[in-house]
Amino acid sequence: MHSLEPVEIFNAKDLETDQEVRWCPGCGDYSILNSMKKILPELGRPRHEFVFVSGIGCSSRFPYYMHTYGMHSIHGRAASIATGLKTSRPELSVWMITGDGDSLSIGGNHLIHTLRRNPDINILLFNNQIYGLTKGQFSPTSEEGKITKSSPVGTVDHPFNPLALALGANATFIARTTDKDGKHQQEIYKRAYHHKGTSLVEIYQNCNVFNDGAFEIFTDKGTKQVSTLYLEHGKPMIFDNGNKGIKLDGLKPVVIDLTIHSADECLVHDETDKMKAFIINSFFDDVELPRPFGIIYINNGVSTFDDAMNAQLQHYKIEDKKAAFNELLKTKSYWEVK
Amino acid sequence: MSHSTQQLDRVVIKFAGDSGDGIQLTGSQFAETTALFGNDIATFPDFPAEIRAPIGTVPGVSGFQLHFGNTHIFTPGDEFDVLVALNAAALKTNLKSLKKNGIIIVNNDGFDSKNLRLANIPETDNPLKNGSLDSYQVFAIDITKLTKLAVAEFGLGNKEAERCKNMYVLGLVYWLYNRNPEKTIQFIRSRFAKQPAVAEANIKALQAGFNYGDTTETFAVQYSVAEAPTAPGVYRSINGNQATALGLLAASVNTGLPLFLGTYPITPASDILHELSKYKGYNVYSFQAEDEIAGVCAAIGAAYGGSIGVTTSSGPGIALKTEAIGLATMLELPLVICNIQRGGPSTGLPTKTEQADLLQAMYGRNGECPVVVIAPATHSDCYEMAYQAVKIAMEHTVPVMFLSDGFIANGAEPWHIKNIESLPPIQSRFITAAADTDYRPYERNENLSRNIAVPGVKGMEHRIGGLEKEHITGNISYDAANHEFMVKTRAKKVELVADILPLQTFEYGNASSKLLIIGWGSTYGTISSAVSELQTEGHDVAYTHLKYINPLPKNFSDLIKGFDKVMVAELNSGQLIKIIRDKFLKDAKGINKIQGQPFMVKEIKAEILNYLQ
């Protein structure tokens, strides 16, 4: 349900607010903000139909820097607020801004249930594998053994792969991108916007103060080629400048050398194939395999929570509510005293 | 067989049996029939926390108490005139509250060796045989056997046949109080529409019970309670949770705004969810969330979008919602939080009543976080008070805590129906259309409530959040003076709600009475009865009842200041009394009970008399 009024012409500049952006210089969040500012004017909607809802954390300051509607809420609960808003106002474009602490730790419950219900909202999960705002404790995505202020001899926790968690919760859109690649981000955000259902985009975001270089291996020129796989729908899974590919050995993904093997042997990415999505998510657990970026899975065949609930309301809609209400008050077993 | 008929003014009956015996249904059917006849009634369902506690045991006893009469009935009654006990455990649990010489109707089959053992009664101590019931009128009837015989023709299984025994008992009690069973017959037909054999068997059992009274010589007398004089109009029976749901719905119907209920099931609040989830056609979103926090946060999200945001729960759930209520306070969004209080702390007594969340409602959040606190006085009062909760929240952009409790929620009374047209209008503070003026989110009106531009309005894009706001602009501000100003402004905004509240009055007595008793919330009926009786007995006692606790009515200070003797009755160890002492430096005395049960009239009377002397 898009607005019928003519689309307001606005550009990235119009999205600036009068608030000074207070992320640390060099923070990956700037790139995400800029990418969002680039794509918003291209979505064909007026500015006032966008709402950004966030929780708590560095990333959750985002709404203050975007001149749309926005709410900076409480820790972990943005998904619930966004669900209430989107369900009752389905015509709005609702975006949720969150981080690995906000959505995978304190708000983990809301994240999985939101994915399960599938309201038509877009979730940008800034994953920096650290607690930044509280100055450097480990997060549920920090690698095992991580030394931080709260784990001076190393963590004993095993990290989440957020997208595997999401798929397990029956997410209908999962994708991964990185703060170092604005163009890729923009493509993914646009696809997320156009997906009807909850879109979860995990963004590898560098915290240059408390966890600098966490994703360097995936973004540094020297290592990026061999350690990342950029997924394209319908294309074979090839990386390292075409030198390597992924094939299946039974159900196990393995790397093959394309100077010996043919690209025809490679697994072909199908973003609508859930089994392949499970396999792609499993790359996370194998250091020999590249980290997948791009859209891992989309399912367009699932009803959205907001549509389904509004359809119920519409189906039972009462025209003359006051008259019906007065009748309702009486119930079947009223009596009259004369 | 002819029986003499004795006229009575009022009767208290307690139906008790195993929680699988259909006691709640039996009691509510009797209540409905007797209300339909024209008696005033008050009911009090009392059931175990376990869905099916072990059959026949004391923890498994379910009870339904009802009080009906030919005058206004305030309470379900302190003691019963009649105890219907379907098994030994039910008798054991309830005997202490039966009046001396009261009537006991027992099911003989519920006192066999197995049932005695389950009730932890030595077989040698069978109360039906050991003379311990000599001071009562005992009618021991083979209810199970007679029921099975009555329904034999329908070919039901043994268990199904036995299940009809509650209808047998109901039939018998209908006969005893001269009530027409027709309404219940209709009810059974519609309830078991798909199982005609079960329906007919239940009707047969009902009639057999009725006929048993009529044809045997078991009972020498029948009783009759005349109609209560009531104002002309349309009436229905209503319990507190139904009334709460309808009051919330009325606010939505009257404003034309959607009602968004974000909630999570919890005893004794769940029935509000059940009720509201039936009303989708009225534009009601009922969102059963994954937890209490998600429930309230979704309601906040909907309120932000221009709906009426409501969350419902009981104490433990309210504790979880605390941070979100703080957010709504900071965002200055309208939000209604219904706390159907139960015994605490922690999981406490889920099915029992208590008023122990008042201080939680008043102060239980981080920072200085005032919300409006209101409490309905009776079951049907929940209708107007829930409506009022929405009105205050919407017009003053503030969260409102609505403090009902298990007693109010589940008990029922006849209600003179108040149509939608009788309710005052509600003016929301939502801006839903673009305007040429500059929008500043924390600009306020004379009530200090702010204008809320909902997302989607062109030109009013803005950001709000849980960080301290700058006055007028709503921008983040760490400024010291601004913080103090905003804390005081949020408090002042709540205080200003008093401008629209009705002035406090005396229910009984006046400013020159010797003693003032103050109550709040669900204790209204009991304290009214107690004070009314004391006045009849010649004691000059005044009574005022608070429905608005934060803020207090404007004249409350004046109303209480002349009294030397002030008592505060509440179902906790003393919470309102702390507020009264704090605000008015009154040396008030508490009347307190923390047993998961409502006050009894005699308890209140005794405490007042004690202080008077």
pLDDT tens digits, residue range A34-67?
999 999 999 999 999 999 999 999 999 999 999 9
Q: What is the pLDDT of residue B2?
A: 64
Q: Chain A contacts of B246, Cβ < 8 Å?
A: 328-329
Q: Quick one: residue B75, left, alpha or beta (phi over 0 = left, psi -120 to 50 = alpha)? A: beta
Q: Which of B183, B234, B299 sits opposite A336 (nearest CB)?
A: B234
Confidence of residue A6 (pLDDT cuts 50, 70, 90): low
Q: What is the pLDDT of residue B53?
A: 80
Q: What is the pLDDT of residue B4?
A: 87
**Cα(A232)–Cα(A68) distance, rounded to whole angstroms?**
32
Q: Which helix (H) or strand (E) segment is B377 a member of?
A: none
Phi then psi dihedrals of residue B127, to 5 deg: -60, -20
Establish, for the pair of chains A and B, how many residue pairs have beta carbons separated by less than 8 Å.
205
Confidence of residue A1 (pLDDT cuts 50, 70, 90): very low
Q: Which of A51, A83, A313 sits opposite B283 (nearest CB)?
A: A313
Are A328 and B459 within 8 A, CB to CB? no
Are B234 and A328 within 8 A, CB to CB? no
Partner B contacted by A89 (CB < 8 A): yes
Count of CB atoms situated within 10 Å of the CB of A323: 12
Residue B30 carries which side chain, given as an amino acid letter?
A: F
Name the DSSP class of B447: T
Q: Which of B287, B290, B419 sits opposite A326 (nearest CB)?
A: B419
Non-local (6+) Cβ contacts of B289 within 8 A are A80, A113, B262, B263, B264, B295, B298
**Cα(A315)–Cα(A45) distance, rounded to whole angstroms?**
28
Confidence of residue A8 (pLDDT cuts 50, 70, 90): low
Strand A137-138 versus strand A130-131 pairing type: antiparallel
Place of tokens 């606790």: B549
Q: Which of B62, B107, B64 is nearest to B88 (CA)?
A: B107
DSSP H helical ranges for chain A: 29-39, 78-88, 100-101, 108-117, 162-168, 182-194, 216-219, 221-227, 274-282, 305-315, 321-330
User: Taking the model in full, what pTM does it have?
Assistant: 0.93
Give the burial class of B449: count Cβ atoms within 10 A of its Cβ; 0-12 exposed, 13-18 middle, 19 or more buried. buried
Give the model confidence (pLDDT) of A159-204 as tens digits.
999 999 999 999 999 999 999 999 999 999 999 999 999 999 999 9
Place of tokens 């329904």: B151
What tokens does B434 get?
């673009």
**Per-residue b/e over A299-312, b at no fewer than 16 CB within 10 Å?**
beebebbbbebbee
Non-local (6+) Cβ contacts of A294 within 8 A are A175, A176, A177, A184, A188, A230, A231, A232
3-class SS shares of chain B: helix, strand, coil, % to 5: 40, 25, 35
* Average pLDDT score over residue span A211-216: 97
SS3 A54: strand
What tokens does B563 get?
């009294």
Asked, as a colleague might, if the bond just before A152 is cis with ω within 30 of 0, I would say no
Say how many residues make up chain B. Answer: 613
Partner B contacted by A133 (CB < 8 A): no
**Cα(B171)–Cα(B82) distance, rounded to whole angstroms?**
15
What are the Cα distances from residue A260, in Å, to A242, A245, A255, A264, A266? Answer: 12, 11, 12, 12, 12
The sign of the torsion formed by the CA atoms of B243, B249, B252, B253 equals: negative
Are A92 and B419 within 8 A, CB to CB? no
Q: Which helix (H) or strand (E) segment is B401 a member of?
A: strand B399-405
What are the Cα distances from residue B559, in Å, to B225, B500, B553, B556? Answer: 39, 18, 10, 5
| A 4-33: CB under 8 A from B | 5, 8, 17-19
Q: Which of B250, B405, B258, B396 is nearest to B328 (CA)?
A: B396
**Per-residue b/e over B87-118, b at no fewer than 16 CB within 10 Å?**
bbbbbbbbbebbbeebbbbbbebbbbeebbeb
What tokens does A300 get?
């367009």
What tokens does B95 get?
């005997």
Query: A109 pLDDT exceeds 50?
Result: yes
Q: Which of B234, B237, B305 sits opposite A88 (nearest CB)?
A: B305
Low-confidence ranges of chain B (pLDDT < 50): none
Partner B contacted by A108 (CB < 8 A): no
- Asked if residues B426 and B251 have their Cβ atoms less than 8 Å apart, the reply is yes
Q: Quick one: residue B509, left, alpha or beta (phi over 0 = left, psi -120 to 50 = alpha)? A: left
- Asked if residues B308 and B260 have their Cβ atoms less than 8 Å apart, the reply is yes
3-class SS shares of chain A: helix, strand, coil, % to 5: 35, 20, 40
- Asked if residues B308 and B377 have their Cβ atoms less than 8 Å apart, the reply is no
Residue A253 carries which side chain, given as an amino acid letter?
A: P
Are B421 and A322 within 8 A, CB to CB? yes
Beta bridge partners of A229: A292
Non-local (6+) Cβ contacts of A332 within 8 A are none
Q: How far is A51 from chain B (nearest CA, A)?
A: 7
Q: How far is A77 from chain B (nearest CA, A)?
A: 7
Query: A3 pLDDT exceeds 70?
Result: no
Query: What is the secondary structure of B175-207 as a DSSP string?
Result: HHTT--THHHHHHHHHHTTT-HHHHHHHHHHHH
